[in-house]
Amino acid sequence: MNLTHPYCDADGDKLREECGIFGVVGARDAASMVALGLHALQHRGQEAVGITSFDGQESYSRRGIGHVAANFSDASALAELPGDMAAGHVRYSTTGGSGLRNVQPLYADLASGGFAIAHNGNISNAVALRRDLVGKGSIFQSTSDTEVIIHLVATSRYPTLLDRFVDALRMVEGAYSLICMTPAGMIACRDPLGIRPLVLGKLGESVIFASESVALDVVGADLIRTVDPGELIEVDREGKITSHRPFGTPAPRPCIFEHVYFSRPDSIVDGRSVYEVRKAIGQQLAIESPVEADLVVPVPDSGVPAAIGFAAQSGIPFELGIIRSHYVGRTFIQPSDGARNADVRRKHNANRALVAGKRIVLIDDSIVRGTTSLKIVQMMRDAGAAEVHFRVASPPTEHSCFYGVDTPERSKLLAARMDVAAMADFIIADSLAFVSIDGLYRAVGEAQRRSGAPQYCDACFTGDYPTRLTDLAERTNPAQLSLLAEKVA
């Protein structure tokens, strides 16, 4: 099965995170704990799942297409993964395609021993690195950018695996959170800007790494802290933790969209409650773009916290004017364009008795292509809404992400093609407004966005990319490249 993100439409009209990772050292039946942790991270990737374990002598791997439950719900599957150390991964494909050969963790044998690696993020110079490695004789088994790291480690001339790992990462551009499992223990690392998230937890004597704190909650572990940007943490088989900082201390730029949409609302990201941040975004929306209306209605489920905040700030009642079915996925048979166009109605249904004759404020987290927003507004009108006003809990998404988020090319982003007034006409809303970039920063606890040195990666809104984009530059025409260079600079 290949189901969508809980909030994702069949036509790809939502941004998708690409991966979630979870690793544990020093736990009886470590693979079972990893499977449980991956359940909590399922929203970060529903295309495929893999777990690799180590029992002190041998490594064992199991991978599958689809959800965690479809591959690791029975005891026999987990019995194939013995050991007190394990790492797992759920994925959507960004760099590389679908198929089992790209399912992580990826494993490799070196002269000094084998290691498995699970990666959340995207390497923006993977094509250039791969070309160089192939030219020197490397043979790739997958199309995943993660395998580039494996070959860089394998070809490094440093004597220890840790030093080889650091040497490899110094050549990598882009965003990553990594778990590397070796016979000696586990290495976890976050990219120098901290674009992709990673947290450290403990359960008894077991040490755990996860993409989000909610995965620690689910396994009963305590959140110790966030892994710092550029930090590399080494954990041996006895649970001893050693922190390294081989990349200096550049100003961090964590992904602000984790707060807007990607992370579960019950997670803590960079020390802040995602749920409280999303409510604060809704409050900012109500302050910046008030409207006279009868009801505040979230687009389920992603718009709920922001809608609660908007209602609290505006005094307009919050109501569930749209009911979502939790049992419709991409695998639903779609024999015709008509059936495909009805997908929103299978997933969402207007609470007709509530919305008829009412002025509605719809709250959603983002507008990508705009097709889903159009269908939702039309649904409200068909249900008899007198007015439909649309408020968005993020700034306009005008630029593609190259750091591990599955976004359409820029020409397909509605905000890249239209101004706000034209977008309102496109989705047939009576009015449309987005939270400002400074309003978003206020919601995450900053006074405003610092011009020239922003506190977060917000490139999907501003085009201000925090790293070089080597692979993109190679396939971009000179005029576009000049503009991109100005943005990156």
Catalytic center residues? 19
Query: Cα dist. 276→264, 266, 285 in Å?
Result: 12, 9, 14
Dist CA 38 CA 36 (whole Å): 5
Neighbours of 100 (CB within 10 A): 11
> Helices (H) and strands (E) in the chain — how many of each?
20, 23
Residue among 257, 260, 184, 188 at smallest CA distance from 224: 188
* Both structure tokens of 79: 């019995």
State how far Cα 296 lies from the chain centre.
Answer: 27
For 256, residues 6+ apart whose C-beta sits below 8 A from its C-beta are 440, 441, 444, 456, 457, 458
355, 362 Cβ separation under 8 angstroms: no
For 377, residues 6+ apart whose C-beta sits below 8 A from its C-beta are 362, 388, 390, 427, 428, 429
314, 306 Cβ separation under 8 angstroms: no
* Both structure tokens of 77: 């599957």
Q: Are strands 295-298 and 359-364 parallel, antiparallel or unpaired?
A: parallel
State how far Cα 293 lies from the chain centre.
Answer: 33
Q: Are strands 387-392 and 359-364 parallel, antiparallel or unpaired?
A: parallel
Dist CA 37 CA 31 (whole Å): 10
Dist CA 179 CA 198 (whole Å): 10
173, 198 Cβ separation under 8 angstroms: no
CA atoms within 13 A on the CB side of 203: 21
205, 226 Cβ separation under 8 angstroms: no
